[in-house]
A and B are shown apart, each in its own frame.
Chain A
């Protein structure tokens, strides 16, 4: 009897998978998912966001590595987001991400959550991705942010008074 318990639990967990999809806003299952230089707005699939080269590279990397936890639906269907506590940010969550600087996000992606006092479930990507690749992912995030992201009025440190 005891040996069966995990099995039953696993079945129950799997049975829940289809249900996961109804939470939150599902990614649109439209043909543009396969177009690499545009991304439909996650909240409003009718609105198509054009991407420049860097953002498009970010989209590619995002759909390879990040989408599994940072979106409510993935190319494979269910998202891993619901398995995690605290739940990872949605990649288009402007309300949360717009306030974080590029440098902060760069560190977060490169060093992982535990290095910055966040959830250790976010693994570091700094040994797999180059700085440019991480910048591309951030550029993609900024492109799809809702509410839209506006770069800081006075651009970053290169203008700081010495």
Chain B
């Protein structure tokens, strides 16, 4: 190559080299500029400006660093950079709603942000440093931010026991249990109970084929246009547990044929004695008398009925047993009487108490139920159904197991398919890629998926076997919260140590007490020995509180102690023997160790002391604002008319000292009584006595229905 050509080439080379160098320097210069303009750095700078504009700049900037901040919790596998932008999160002076996000302080919570970071509760991507990536799901990140209304789900991931601070989660857990979700799904911390839906082995003796057809087609809950759930056409707060299965005409005919043919143990009709029939048969008021008895026995504590008040008809009553407004048109009368006499003969696991009936009462109440709680139009929409033929029965039997009915309803000789529905015990931690959306048109996120599955399973998968639930929005959110809390086994050993396990106590009593306890199902409403329901007062220390004679009187004739209570203890008509067995057990076993019954010498309660106590009660402490004595006073706390016969002196003293030490959830305020004042108040309260026959009746007229 010629030298001049060489020179030409090298000049060209130099030109290109210079150009590339300039471009290279330019590119290098971009990156510091780009770095400076990073989203999180802009937030850092605007936080500094915000702090400088406020009077307490120094404190707001005390921990400020221009770098990335992060909270690192190795044992929980959490790297949390949310505080890079959420700079003011622990600054109490930035709590005001006028402070712009992301700088506003966090509202006070039981955990320290410094120790826990944000994603443990709020989810989202801790390590991300861009707002969009931190808050939402992108392909690269797994967990979207949990919307505020489901936040209690995070509490439940570690706190497996119910907390008072998480009512929504607690309600959701309760609904999961009530709707028997464990019939088909495995759920975290929820065991399969002995009985889910009723055993159907003998259902043919209870209801007709027509009723079964109607029930299967449209189990009672219906949502009207405004979103209210109605049962039998009445608005209600609680949905019945049977969900809606989408069955076609052939399936309906088959299932109703199969079920109505199940009569393995016929019901022998109960023979009323001729005396009772003769006395009541012709009486025009038998139905009214039956209704009075029905109310007196407080059936509505567990069962609701449609009641019209001020032109509005609503279901009113308890939720433990089924709604009964039209039950007279549902069940066969012989079955009804046999059931009332002994529910466990038909359903061994029923929680209905076995009442002690007099024949008159049974006759009257049965007459009331069959004639008043009925609706002749109930089955008018059902097509004519002939007696079932073998083919229909066999088809029905197949549908019964294919639809998963056997998961909740036992039938002698039919075995349920194990794990009928998918395992949901880790549902809350699933990410979107693990969910099967198919062709559905719902948003691709876990919450939409869960809610669509519950309210309209076909919208997710047209072939879904899952039945349909009609829930109010608040209940739907509660159940979603509970499902989201089920994040499966703890991801790290650190998490495992933090988890507060759920305690599930099972208590069965033996001996004479156990027999009465089982007969009247005390545990359905009352809790003691660590087991039982929460509808009625906790009786863990009832033996320290109540005098034995009062207990017997109360068990035989329960009275209203708290006028504001809607649900009352049913009248079981128990015998003297049964009442004293219960009272003995309660007095001996259900004691609080700090209440020493023999420590109080009742001789010290002189009339002078009592009148001093009356002064304190009425003037200084004004207890009458909540408690009733005679005809005056408030009705927040129990009525004290008979407290002298009801409570033991030692309990009253201990209670006045510190009510919450005895009953943790009580709303009775703890006052600063001196010991002398406690003695005086106790002396006064012990003078309040009523004769044994009079009390309680007055309240009955008002409270009977509710």
Contacts and interface: CB of A to CB of B under 8 A. Distances in A.
Contacts of B698: 7, 10-11, 14
Contacts of B604: none
A52 interface: yes
Given A80-B634, A84-B634, A14 B168 contact: no
Contacts of B630: 6, 9-10
Contacts of A103: none
Interface stretch (B8-16, B204-212, B408-416, B620-628): B620-628
Interface in B652-703: 660, 667, 669-672, 694, 698-699, 701-702
A128 interface: yes
Size bin of chain A's contact surface: 35 or more
B439 interface: no
Contacts, number: 124
B533 to A, nearest CB: 18
Contacts of B311: none
B127 interface: no
B522 interface: no
Contact of B107 (A3, A7, A36, A52): A52
B164 A60 contact: yes
B474 A32 contact: yes
A35 B168 contact: yes
B566 interface: yes
Contacts of A7: 694, 698
Among A3, A14, A17, the one with the most B-chain Cβ atoms within 10 Å of its Cβ is A14
B478 to A, nearest CB: 8
Interface residues of B, number: 52
A84 B165 contact: no
A53 B107 contact: yes
Nearest to A17: B702
B564 interface: yes
A77 B564 contact: yes
Q: Which DSSP category, helix, strand, loop or mixed, fits chain B's interface?
A: loop
B472 A37 contact: no
B564 A83 contact: no
A120 B620 contact: yes
Interface string A85-125: 00000000000000000000000000010100001111111
Contact of A127 (B164, B168, B670): B670
B697 to A, nearest CB: 8
Nearest to A31: B472
B460 interface: no
A1 interface: no
Interface in A22-52: 31-32, 34-37, 52
Contact of B474 (A35, A76, A114, A159): A35
A121 B701 contact: no
A53 B148 CA distance: 9
A9 B474 contact: no
B601 interface: no
Nearest to A80: B634
A3 B667 CA distance: 33
Among B108, B475, B478, the one with the most A-chain Cβ atoms within 10 Å of its Cβ is B108
Given A37-B149, A128-B670, A11 B701 contact: yes
Given A83-B635, A155-B93, A123 B669 contact: yes
13 contacts: A11-B698, A31-B474, A34-B475, A68-B626, A76-B564, A80-B634, A83-B625, A123-B669, A124-B669, A136-B108, A151-B97, A155-B96, A158-B93
Closest 8 CB pairs of A and B: A121-B625, A9-B631, A35-B474, A123-B669, A76-B564, A127-B670, A54-B107, A31-B472
